[in-house]
Amino acid sequence: MTYSASPVIGLRVFIVEDETLIALMLETMLEELGCIVLGVAGSVAEALRSLDGPAAQADAAILDINIGGEKVYPVADALGERGVPYLFATGYGREGLGELYPRRIVLPKPYTQGVLAQALVELRAQSG
């Protein structure tokens, strides 16, 4: 199901996800919502490098918490320093974050396109 009238149309999104199939599914969902995917990084190092390129223009970022056994927190902190809103995607729920980012939106895996859209709307509302 697509959400052509979605308030996230034109939102520029950066993805950090190490599972190729999940990254492709997320990219497709975002494009169907009318978002513009600026890039997909599959490692923390790649994500940090991407922040010096097109990803620096992101309106939002979706971060998987566990990237190849490494926590994505350095990317979250770098995005925060740049003023880029982000949310976490995880199969572990809020508990997977611990106490580190108590006010961040958590997108529970697996998610539907509708849940993704709602999380992005909420993220925009928090940051705007």
Superfamily of domain 12-127 in CATH is Response regulator (3.40.50.2300)
Map tokens 């620096």 to a residue.
56
Whether 78 contacts 52, CB under 8 Å: no
DSSP tag of 96: G
Q: What is the pLDDT of residue 72?
A: 96
Amino acid code (one letter) for 73: Y
DSSP tag of 57: G
Q: What is the pLDDT of residue 5?
A: 47
Whether 15 contacts 23, CB under 8 Å: yes
Q: What is the pLDDT of residue 127?
A: 83
Size of the chain, expressed as the number of residues it contains: 128
Mean pLDDT by 10 residues, the chain (128 residues): 67 98 98 96 98 95 96 96 96 79 91 96 89
Angle at alpha carbon of residue 20, lines to 102 and 87, rounded to 5° = 15
Q: What is the pLDDT of residue 100?
A: 84
